[in-house]
Structure 1
Amino acid sequence: MKKGLKLLFFLFSLLLLTSCGLTEELEQAKNEVQALNTNLENQKNHYQTLSQLIELLPTEFDNDLKNITEENLLTNQEGAVYRNVTLRQELKPKMTTEQAEIKKKQRALNTIIKRNAADVDNKQLKRLSNSLDIVMSNFDSLGIYQETIEKQEKAFYKDFPKDDLEEQLFIIEQTYGALDLVCQEAQANISYSQSLLKQFEKEAVKSKAKHP
């Protein structure tokens, strides 16, 4: 009889602890997803700003050629090209920090997924985590193009006037175009991740109602 009572008590305690654990996992997932959305939105805005700066460059370059007599456009602090390059340089650490936070949130989500809590939509979380892999890949590509463009800019924006201006301009514009394309793609992929995120939040509300 005592063994039966002990077993019953054990099972009841286990059920209680499990239920508490499920709610804890759900709340943790919701908190991580909410924070992730902020990071994604910030990063998307950074990509948009970077894209806008790139698109402004042709006009700014033409204006500098007309109004600035110095040989090196990157050293003239009054020039539009100098300001553009400076703003892009200031954006880099901000994007790196934001990306690190996104990666951190992804690791946290993967930990929750592994626990396989019954009241957490783990399939949706997995889809969200997988979509972040693409966001990470976009950022890696961005870094490669940024490194390339920095080298090209140092060579291109000095020693004016140039005899082979059209040829060099074509090369650097190709890289600018590739960089802008990465920015556009990254924004689209972040928006997709956010759509998965919002879907998870909707399901989390329903799940919480089932597991009060």
Structure 2
Amino acid sequence: MKKVFFTILAVAFSLLVMAQEKTKQKEVGLSFSNLDEFGITYKVGTQKAMWRFNTLLLTGGKTTMKYPEQYRQVRDEYTDKDFGLNLMVGREFRKSIDDNFEFRYGFDLSFSNYKLTHEDKTMEDLHDWRKTVSKESSYGFNLVFGFNYVFKNKLVVGVEALPNVSIIDGEIKKSAYYGGFETEKSDISGSRYGLKNSSVLLTLAYRF
């Protein structure tokens, strides 16, 4: 699956080079999913068709919780760390509805990666320690349907729906210590399709 990711990056770079050679219009700005997940959007092309390059930061952070004193003999604390990233490369076509509104449609190739690490331990060194690491990658295809509202031909506010289908690949690795180290590994595979709230993307961009 890593080959697929590098192939998408190679295609994205090639498209970006070709787009820059023939560009008459550019847009750069921010994209939002669920109003709390954001990223960067960059588009190049003409008034009728543009290449799309989106990087959407899904999530990232670290949480540590200490158990109450009366439970410390059983559990001391646990820590969760997670990070996710979504890349999309595609093509969109535009049709003017009036001076300010544009209808747009097209497609994206997408790649996403998500990693979650959960560590649970007691106070007594390694007498009771557990760690779970989940990694999941997704490779997909999105359709694009949306609208733009353009202020003074410079500021672009857009909304788009992204029906999608994707293939999932990953693994769950569990490590523990109960008088000796133990490890267990499980593979993740599957597919997803459909349209949900997180498949709606809002964008705010500057056109030049």
More strand by share: 2
More helix by share: 1
TM-score norm. by structure 1 comes to 0.23
When Rg is computed on C-alpha atoms for both structures, the one with the higher figure is 1
